[in-house]
Amino acid sequence: MLECLYGWRRWRRQREVRKPSLERRNTYLKMRSTSLDLSTGLNFARTHSDSEEERALKIYGFGNYCQHNRVLLCMVGLPARGKSYIVRMLERYLRWTGFQVQSFNAGNLRRQEGMGGADASFFTSDDKTAIREKIAGECMEEAFHWLLSQSSASIAIFDATNTTKKRRATIHRRSREVRGITPVFIESICDDPKILSQNYTMKLENDDYRGKDPETARADFLARVDAYSKRYETIDDDEFDQSIIYVKIFNVGRKVVMCRCSGYIMSHIGFYLSNIHINPRRIWLIRHAETEDGRNGRVGSGSNKITASGKKFINDLAEYLYKARTNMSEAGDIEGSNMMVLMGTAPVHKSTCDFLMGKRGNRGSRSVALQTAIRSLQDCTVMSTSLLNELDGGDCNGMSYEEIKANYPEIYDERERDKLNFRYPGSGGESYCDVIGRLKPVIIELERQRQSVLVISHLAVQRCIYGYFTGEAMEMIPHIELPLHSAIELRPMPHGTKVAVTELL
């Protein structure tokens, strides 16, 4: 009964094309004069009583100010322990959530200063200690300089070994000389032989060993690791008079320990790091099957009447997924070949999934290959969440973009000027920033899963998820071109995400 009532209300709301009243339009224009903090996705009005300096120190969280507005994340760990992989993951996630982020790599700085290709003696000789410390100090100062130049929530990542208490104490003393910068140490510990072997192989591909004999390069690199191991001091709770803030990650996410991690930024970072892993899997992004309202370009339509083209797309998708998962299984990736389905709660999402699983459609007309493909999908776990629903058009739900342009040109122009921050007027109206904010739990779920995932959503949600995994600039996310009736395959890798787009129709 409740389901029927919900469906009727939804139908009525979207079929009665409501024109925003003058009062609503004025409210909308007033809303646009407020400022949006991308680090939280929350709106706040800037008051005249706040000076520029005070505003620079305020970072708004959930109902309160963040504890710190600038954070220096300092990596700790032996070479080839996944530090740079963690840095890239953090950069991608924090930029996507709206923070200003920049990484500073001591190894890259050494190579830029003409010491590329340095052999193990550079890292083992005591005579080179002063040079190594000088490079690390310069890299640290670059991070501090960048942080001090930022006027809003910002995070610098100091990517170096930082394996001694003396080095960490130097970072701590330097941070006390300036206002508003908090050092947080992220130690990556790895003793899994399989992970270490993979990391060593990838390390031999960097500029220090490019073009060298693989066996000679590997022996040299292991000598470098051995030199660092002799000086290595793991983080202790009593450092900095028992005030050190740190996160320890064991075997790239298998175990995570956090100490004194409080505040909005660090709670996000700690939760994110506790869910990442390096297991191979695939994420397929698909848009829901085509509907009549979708074909006509209506905003926020609740229609679930799938067109003939939409049904053919679903059949082709079933066969595509069957082949992809079979290939993964035959290659030995058993866990990754398993699949779960994540979708929104819109009627069209359920209709798309029902057709895909064989619950709807003409069974008699299916080929043997299609029947086999559909049966392989019927054991998949299906989860639905409103977090994956389309960007809400507010009072513009049910209108086409042409109708909005003709009847409400100021709203249409505002959207064209800034699609990232533009929020539709009226109750429930959303912006792309709002969608990104509500998708954070979905991103964590996608990072956490060790099996492959099929995501059924609308275009705006698809763009936001795609933008996260590919590291797209925030302002470009609303403009990402993603074809209809296509399967977008994302394969998270240590050095980024491989993307393959297969047009199925």
Please report the DSSP string for 161-208 in residue order: ---SHHHHHHHHHHHHTSSSEEEEEEEEE---HHHHHHHHHHHTTSTT
Rounded-to-integer distance, Cα 293 and Cα 7, Å: 16
Structure tokens at 243: 């005030």
pLDDT in the model for residue 6: 37
Active site residue 390: yes
Pair of tokens at residue 178: 């300036």
HEC secondary structure over 353-366: HHHHCCCCCCHHHC
Q: How far apart are CA 499 and CA 505, in angstroms?
A: 19
For residue 145, give every residue at least 6 positions away whose Cβ sits within 8 Å of its Cβ, in sequence order, or none. Answer: none
Q: Using CA atoms, how far apart are residues 385 and 206, in angstroms rounded to an integer? A: 42
- Catalytic one among 74, 139, 159, 293? 159
Q: Which entry of 349, 458, 485, 489 is annotated as an active-site residue?
A: 458
pLDDT in the model for residue 117: 85
Tell me 485's DSSP state: T
| Sheet strand arrangement including 339-343 | 381-384, 339-343, 452-457, 283-287, 486-493, 496-503
Q: Which of 208, 390, 434, 489 is catalytic?
A: 390
CB 319 within 8 A of CB 304: no
Is 241 considered catalytic here? no
3-state secondary structure of 215: helix
Q: Give the whole-angstrom CA distance, residue 415 versus residue 432.
A: 11
Q: What residues contact residue 58 under an 8 Å CB cut-off, 6+ apart?
A: 50, 65, 69
CA distance 269 to 260: 13
Predicted local distance difference test score (pLDDT) of residue 12: 41
Q: Please give the chain's pLDDT, 505 residues, in tens.
A: 434 433 434 434 443 444 444 444 444 444 444 433 333 333 333 333 344 444 444 333 332 334 447 999 999 999 999 999 999 999 999 999 888 999 999 999 999 999 988 889 999 888 889 999 999 999 999 999 999 998 878 999 999 999 999 999 999 999 999 988 999 999 999 999 999 998 999 888 888 898 889 999 999 999 999 999 999 999 999 999 999 999 999 998 889 999 999 888 888 898 999 999 888 999 999 999 988 777 766 665 566 788 899 999 999 999 999 999 999 999 988 899 999 999 999 999 999 999 999 998 777 788 999 999 999 999 999 999 999 999 999 999 888 889 999 999 999 999 999 999 999 999 999 999 999 999 999 999 999 999 999 999 999 999 999 999 999 999 999 999 999 899 999 999 888 899 999 999 8
Predicted pLDDT of residue 18: 41
What is the reported pLDDT for 65?
Answer: 37
What b-and-e string marks burial along 373-388, b requiring 16 or more CB atoms within 10 Å of the CB?
bbebbeebebebeebb
- Catalytic residue selected from 139, 190, 261, 464: 190
Question: Is 277 tagged catalytic?
Answer: no
**Which pLDDT does position 304 carry in this prediction?**
76
Is 458 an annotated catalytic residue?
A: yes
